[in-house]
Amino acid sequence: MSYQATLAYLLTNEDLTDFPRNGYIYTHLQGAKARGKELGYVIEPLWFRDVDYNVDRMSRMIRSRGIPGVIIPHIQYLKEDDLTDFDWSSFAVATSGFTITKPGLARSGFYWSHGVRLALKRIEEYGYRHVGLVMSEYHEPLSDYSLSSEFYHREKNTRPGELYQSYIVPESTKDVIQSIQEWLIEHHPQVVIGFHDTWLAISRLNWRIPDDIAFVSPHWSSPWPQIAGINQCWEAIGANAVELVVTQLNANERGIPTVPRHLLNEGYWVDGESFPRLS
């Protein structure tokens, strides 16, 4: 398709090299670029670091270049309140995931509830009966609280012979790794669903994965193919962010929407050495 316009892709991290190749933001950007190309849009990364993290200055720079649409995939080194001075009214905007909840913007993301149910179904099919969920409180809003709530439902509705236990590490915890280790030693599930801090806690206990405990990631990534889990398809999330911005542009919509649109995609299960079948 012929060139339509350039869309700004705003990055709050220091550099794309902060993320491993095929990491979430890198993969998101590739998906956005591919879909943008199909629709006639160039996706241009712009860094807040280049304007000293001044969001008003960033708005003015984008506006002066005649860029009509903006994608903000994730905020790091910034807080939601830091975005107050951004000129939302001049652009069609979409975000991804749940790091930005204020203001209410068009959002692409992963259908967390479906993903958690898929992981729990696979855990049951593979013969595990004692299942743990361990995560920092920090991760709760990143899944829109769906990860813990779906697990909690299963935890409270177990069948004979099953034991599901969750541990959400409070943000005030001084030593997160030690806190996780203490919980694991006390409960020692057959398999644990967790993030990097849980993997690190297991490693520092000198427990062998999967011999001593199996591990499932809700955030599978190709740089670590040995870890089983859910591929959230960040290429699709990036592509969907472009779709949301282009839809607004085609409808001549700018600014904070009255009713924000959410475009969620499902993920799929990926096997790995960290999670073998028991039966």
Task: Give the residue extent of every domain in the chain.
Answer: 5-111+233-265, 112-231
Alpha helices (runs of H) in 40-111, residue ranges in sequence order: 55-64
Q: What does the pLDDT look like over 47-75, one tens digit per residue?
A: 988 998 899 999 999 999 999 999 998 87
What is the C-alpha to C-alpha distance for residues 240 and 257, in angstroms, rounded to an integer?
Answer: 17
Q: What is the mean pLDDT of residues 149-178?
A: 94
Compute and round to an integer the Cα radius of gyration of the chain. Answer: 20
CA 182 and chain centroid, separation: 27
> Encoding tokens for residue 259?
């009713």
Assigned token pair, 101: 């909840």
Contacts of 260 (CB under 8 A, 6+ apart): 104, 105, 106, 107
Residue type for 123, please?
I
Residue 4: half-sphere exposure toward Cβ, Cα within 13 Å: 18
* The pairing of beta strand 5-11 with beta strand 69-72: parallel
The residues facing 92 across adjacent strands are: 69
Q: C-alpha distances in angstroms, 227 versus 156, 167, 221, 264, 273?
A: 27, 21, 8, 24, 6
pLDDT at 138 over 90: no
Distance between CA atoms of 72 and 120, rounded to whole angstroms? 31
Res. 135: pLDDT tops 90: yes
Residue range 38-45: mean pLDDT, rounded: 97
Return the percent helix, strand and coil in the chain, to nearest 5: 40, 20, 40
pLDDT above 70 coverage of the chain, percent: 94
pTM of the entire structure? 0.92
In angstroms, the CA 83 to CA 42 distance is 24
Q: Residue 22: is its pLDDT beyond 60?
A: no
Whether the CB-CB separation of 101 and 80 falls below 8 Å is answered with: yes
DSSP structural state of residue 80: G
Q: Per CATH, is 112-231 categorized as 3.40.50.2300?
A: yes
Range with lowest mean pLDDT among 79-93, 94-108, 112-126, 264-278? 79-93
Residue 8 identity (one-letter amino acid): A
**Residue 99 CB-half CA count within 13 A:** 16
Q: Do domains 5-111+233-265 and 112-231 have the same CATH topology?
A: yes
> Cα–Cα distances in Å, from 101 out to 26, 44, 170?
22, 23, 21
Q: Which amino acid is at 195?
A: F
SS3 178: helix
Topology adopted by domain 5-111+233-265: Rossmann fold (3.40.50)
Please tell me what DSSP assigns to residue 171.
T
Residue 109 has pLDDT above 70, yes or no: yes
Residue 223 pLDDT level (bands cut at 50, 70, 90): confident
Segment 25-35 shows an average pLDDT of: 93
The whole-chain average pLDDT of the chain stands at 92
Residue reference for tokens 């969907």: 240
Question: Does the pLDDT at position 19 exceed 60?
Answer: no
